[in-house]
Amino acid sequence: MAKTRNADDRSISSGRILLGGVVGIVLTLVLTFGAALALSRELLPLRACSWLGPLIIGLAAFFSAWTAARKNGKKLMCGLLAAVLYGCGMMIAGLLLFSTPMQTGRLLLSMGALLLGGFGGVFSAGFAD
């Protein structure tokens, strides 16, 4: 018996989740490099650094979740798993690179940006194809 298209769409695509996580990490690197370049050339004021980090995290989580949820039946699950994969990857990289612990307020702000970006990416991908 042949599978219908709906049966294929209802599976969780691990490849899409991994691709979404990689898209988020690459986008974070590109945006961070661009922000550092703009700060070093004094195109952005130094006080912009306080909101630049959560903005980059939110944007990267948005595109990470959007990439994973775009052509998948379980959009919410795939998108949020990709955003969580991105967030965990960035936290592990931060722990390996910097030995000082993150402040609680900064951690909560980053997690909020990650969640908002993840949900935003899933919702913008739409729930119906």
Q: What is the pTM of this model?
A: 0.80
Structure tokens at 96: 């390996």
Share of the chain above pLDDT 70, in %: 85
CA separation, residue 105 to residues 16, 56, 99, 121 (Å): 32, 17, 18, 24
Q: Is 45 helix (H, G, I), strand (E, B) or coil?
A: coil
- Predicted confidence (pLDDT) per residue in 66-80, tens digit: 888 887 767 888 888
CA 1 to chain centre: 39
Of 50-54, 56-60, 91-95, least confident by mean pLDDT is 91-95
- Predicted confidence (pLDDT) per residue in 62-121, tens digit: 999 888 888 776 788 888 888 888 888 888 887 787 766 667 787 788 888 888 888 888
C-alpha–C-alpha distance, residues 24 and 18, integer Å: 10
Other C-beta atoms within 10 Å of 110: how many?
21
